[in-house]
């Protein structure tokens, strides 16, 4: 049996229980505080990440909207517009003048973006230099290449275009040569010499003696016959319809058709380097929906064929006199 002194000097069972409860409560409180502190740090970190993300997303979104609907840079890889626009030029292109529209595809994919166009300041004028989506080769309904071309607008919807010994006529009126037009030779292809690469197929035209040909206009009714079937087949298919010849009857969307109503407005484009330009003479009309915009200014020029790792030669190829040029 334990003495009274022992009982008085030793800790009581109830005291141990009390301290144990106290210690447990303190530990829980400490753990709760630690969890609360960690949670606060996590929330603070998430807020910082969210803030950084928002500060990054806002300028990126603004930049995407800017290059999609306002202005965008384009490089010129070919000589088809020399000496107005030179190989190696980089252009800022005004995309809202004719009405901004999205690109054909989501960047880096072939996923199409539904077409729409914002209201523009005006329609293209004859003589404008225009950047547009290349419609494809003459016999190609839809090109697999996402390529931008820059050419001069020669014919508007409804215009009659003809070329006689390299002189362009629109609606019977002679069109002056552009200020910096370029011809490499004096060898003019004679009328009647048929270039098999010229648009439309079987026309008998060539690049120096071409037409007359009427630029399609929205609402215009085209008479279809076996004789002009090849001339209009690809055009009709580019507007989204099937077109074939069965015997002596033309079929559009598997129905006999004696005529076809044009669904959009089109333009006739030519390069200023007349002997070295693949343009509407070779692949046909450009629909308004494919027009991107108008060049504003040359902001840079260097040799695009020199790889960037050869930096000294790349920098040596810069043409400082081209910077700031406004194409006319």
166 and 205 in a common domain: yes
Please report, for residues 46, 228, 259, 281, 284, the alpha-carbon distance to residue 237 in angstroms, rounded to integers and kept in the order given.
54, 15, 14, 19, 13
Boundaries of domain holding 80? 72-218+266-322
128 and 255 in a common domain: no
Q: pLDDT by residue (tens digit) across 135-165?
A: 999 999 988 777 899 999 999 999 999 999 9
300 and 252 in a common domain: no
pLDDT at residue 1 is higher than 60 = no
Q: Tokens 């040596």 appear where? A: 316
158 and 104 in a common domain: yes
275 and 162 in a common domain: yes
Per the domain annotation, does 6 fall within a domain?
no
Contact 266, 105 (CB under 8 A): no
Within 10 angstroms of residue 29's Cβ, the number of other Cβ atoms is 10
257 and 167 in a common domain: no
166 and 304 in a common domain: yes
Per the domain annotation, does 82 fall within a domain?
yes
Per the domain annotation, does 231 fall within a domain?
yes
- Both tokens assigned to 200: 């439309």
Which range has the worst mean pLDDT, 5-19, 102-116, 193-207, 280-294? 5-19
Which residues, including other chains, have CB under 8 Å from residue 257's CB and lie 6 or more apart?
224, 250, 251
Q: What's the pLDDT band for 46 if we cut at 50, 70, 90?
A: low
Of all helices (H) and strands (E), which one includes residue 93?
strand 89-94
Per the domain annotation, does 327 fall within a domain?
no
């Amino acid at each position: 049996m334990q003495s009274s002194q022992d009982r008085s000097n030793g800790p009581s069972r109830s005291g141990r229980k009390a301290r144990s409860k106290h210690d447990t409560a303190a530990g829980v409180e400490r753990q709760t505080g630690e969890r609360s502190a960690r949670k606060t740090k996590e929330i603070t970190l998430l807020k910082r990440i969210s803030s950084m993300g928002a500060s990054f997303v806002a300028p990126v979104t603004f930049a995407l909207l800017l290059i999609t609907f306002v202005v965008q840079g384009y490089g010129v890889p070919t000589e088809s517009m020399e000496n107005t626009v030179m190989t190696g030029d980089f252009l800022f292109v005004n995309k809202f003048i004719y009405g901004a529209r999205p690109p054909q595809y989501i960047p880096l994919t072939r996923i199409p973006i539904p077409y729409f166009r914002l209201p523009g300041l005006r329609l293209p004028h004859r003589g404008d230099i225009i950047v547009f989506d290349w419609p494809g080769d003459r016999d190609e309904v839809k090109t697999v290449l996402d390529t931008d071309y820059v050419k001069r607008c020669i014919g508007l919807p409804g215009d009659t275009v003809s070329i006689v010994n390299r002189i362009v006529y629109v609606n019977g009126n002679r069109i002056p040569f552009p200020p910096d037009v370029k011809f490499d030779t004096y060898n003019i292809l004679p009328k009647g010499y048929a270039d098999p690469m010229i648009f439309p197929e079987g026309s008998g035209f060539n690049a120096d003696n071409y037409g007359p040909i009427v630029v399609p206009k929205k609402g215009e009714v085209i008479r279809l016959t076996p004789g002009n079937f090849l001339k209009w087949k690809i055009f009709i298919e580019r507007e989204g319809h099937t077109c074939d010849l069965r015997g002596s009857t033309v079929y559009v969307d598997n129905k006999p058709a004696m005529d076809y109503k044009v669904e959009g407005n089109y333009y006739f484009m030519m390069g200023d380097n007349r002997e070295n330009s693949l343009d509407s003479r070779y692949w046909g009309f450009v629909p308004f929906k494919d027009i991107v915009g108008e060049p504003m200014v040359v902001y840079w020029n260097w040799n695009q064929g020199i790889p960037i790792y050869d930096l000294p030669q790349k920098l040596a190829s810069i043409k400082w006199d081209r910077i700031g040029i406004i194409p006319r």
